[in-house]
Amino acid sequence: MDSSVYVFVEDLRGEGVERVLDRISAYGVAGVTVGAVHHASRDVTPHGLSRLTVRHDGAHFAPPADLFSGLRLAPVPGYPEAFDGLREACAKRSMKLHGWTVFLRNATIGMEHPDVTVRDCFGDRGSPADLCPAHPDVRDYAVALARAVARLGVDSVVAESLHFSPLEAQRSFVPLGPMDAYLFGLCFCDYCMRRATDLGVQAEVAREECAGIVGRVFDGDQPAQGEVTRAALTAYAGPDVVAYARARSETVTTLVSEVASAVAEEGSKLVFVDSTGAVKGYADGLPTPGLAAHDAWQFGVDLVALGDLVPAFGVLAYARDAARVADDVGAYLRSVGKDREVRAVLRPGHPDSDSADRLLAKARGAKAAGALAVDFYAYGLVPHPVLDRIPAALSEAL
Ligand SMILES: [Zn+2]
């Protein structure tokens, strides 16, 4: 069974490549999944060079000129030397190197080019970090970015945020229910509207419906209760909105297909990680009831279609319960196809795992459900004693 630990470039810069790789190798882990392109954040890093790490939007390599010279959007410069010698250092330890790539979450690009970000049903562009996957310039950027990471010589390009995102307001004193928040998070930019119209959807009717519903909640109406499902959404917002939401999968499927082909042409392979599992369980490890594979459509992710186009998938199994991890992996495999590689991404500590036994149970559950790999998230974010749970989880589960 394959395995890896997610690693940030700041971990490597702080502790040093040799030390980090030695430690991870000693856990019996087969590889590292290193952040080649990441988004801005401020993270508590318990054993890092700095205990509070500020990350900037950045691509941690020198972008090949031939890939980006004709494009409007370019990678935001990060630490250009971060991958120098990394492949060799991994090879020396017989470890695989994967290139973790955050594609469409980038506020630096979005602030500089607001027109490529998502536009809500009111016509506002209030999510500068969310680049719209329907915008042609974003699509060109994504394909070039994938090629650039593949050229680092990685065994796989691990794609994060290569689909639509949910709304993430930092403050809201309006009690939006899950369905209201979902409608408010739909993109109605010109490109999304046109793609939906081409598929026979009444896009303007859908936009007006969303604006009407969310606007009434802003005016004091009670928000809708209950999780987002197709049936509930149809009842709440009508068939045009549901058709509009479903049409987004064509946008994502074609983009992922282009990215997967580009990665394959560069001699690597794409691992597609959709964020649904994180949306559900990130905060507390207690995911909302619907399985990630069943709710991924909400962000334009059609796993059945992608199963024919992408060789491997990562399931963000952010849950305390081992049975839930197994259920998520099983549902994923049923969607993408039994012959696909599915990797379960586990958090070895807070808030998902309170003991080595619990982590072991989840690794076992993932394997029993058909996962071919487990990945651990993430090196710099968890204390050393938590990382020390990994060897037992790997050796006893596999
Ligand atoms: Zn759009």
Domain boundaries, the chain: 2-171+267-396
- For ligand 1, the distance from its centroid to the CA atom of residue 242, given in whole angstroms, is 16
pLDDT value, residue 65: 95
Beta strand residue intervals within the chain, DSSP E: 2-7, 31-38, 41-44, 52-55, 58-59, 96-102, 156-160, 270-273, 312-316, 341-346, 373-376
pLDDT value, residue 346: 98
pLDDT value, residue 398: 63
- For ligand 1, the distance from its centroid to the CA atom of residue 163, given in whole angstroms, is 11
Angle at which helix 356-368 crosses helix 322-336, to 10 degrees, equals 30
**How far is residue 392's CA from residue 317's CA, in Å, rounded to a whole number?**
19
The count of residues in the chain is 398
Tokens coding 334: 């049923």
| DSSP structure class, residue 283 | T
Mean pLDDT of the chain: 97
**How far is residue 105's CA from residue 334's CA, in Å, rounded to a whole number?**
28
- For ligand 1, the distance from its centroid to the CA atom of residue 187, given in whole angstroms, is 5
pLDDT value, residue 396: 82
Residue 100 has pLDDT above 90, yes or no: yes
**How far is residue 395's CA from residue 45's CA, in Å, rounded to a whole number?**
27
Cα 40 → chain centroid? 14
pLDDT value, residue 395: 87
Average pLDDT over residues 245-256: 98
Residues in a beta bridge with 374: 3, 344
- For ligand 1, the distance from its centroid to the CA atom of residue 207, given in whole angstroms, is 12
pLDDT value, residue 269: 98
pLDDT value, residue 335: 98
For 93-130, the DSSP string reads TT-EEEEEEE-SB-HHHHHH-GGGB---TTS----TTB
| DSSP structure class, residue 298 | G
State what percent of residues in the chain have pLDDT above 70.
100
What is the CATH T-level fold of the domain 2-171+267-396, as seen in this structure?
Answer: TIM Barrel (3.20.20)
CB 380 within 8 A of CB 8: yes
pLDDT value, residue 170: 86
- For ligand 1, the distance from its centroid to the CA atom of residue 150, given in whole angstroms, is 27
- For ligand 1, the distance from its centroid to the CA atom of residue 250, given in whole angstroms, is 12
Residues 346, 274, 370: CA angle, nearest 5 degrees: 55
Residue 277 CB burial class (10 angstroms; 0-12, 13-18, ≥19): buried
CB 303 within 8 A of CB 190: no
**How far is residue 398's CA from residue 389's CA, in Å, rounded to a whole number?**
14
Contacts of 155 (CB under 8 A, 6+ apart): 31, 96, 97, 98, 268, 269
pLDDT value, residue 42: 97
With cut-offs at 50, 70 and 90, classify the pLDDT of residue 221: very high
Nearest to 274 by CA among 159, 374, 378: 159
Average pLDDT over residues 211-233: 95
Average pLDDT over residues 106-128: 98
Average pLDDT over residues 386-393: 97
- What is the reported pTM? 0.97
E strand or H helix at 23: helix 17-26
Residue 227 has pLDDT above 80, yes or no: yes
- For ligand 1, the distance from its centroid to the CA atom of residue 194, given in whole angstroms, is 9
pLDDT digits (tens, 9 = 90+) for 33-62: 999 999 999 999 999 999 999 999 999 999
pLDDT digits (tens, 9 = 90+) for 143-182: 999 999 999 999 999 999 999 999 988 899 999 999 999 9
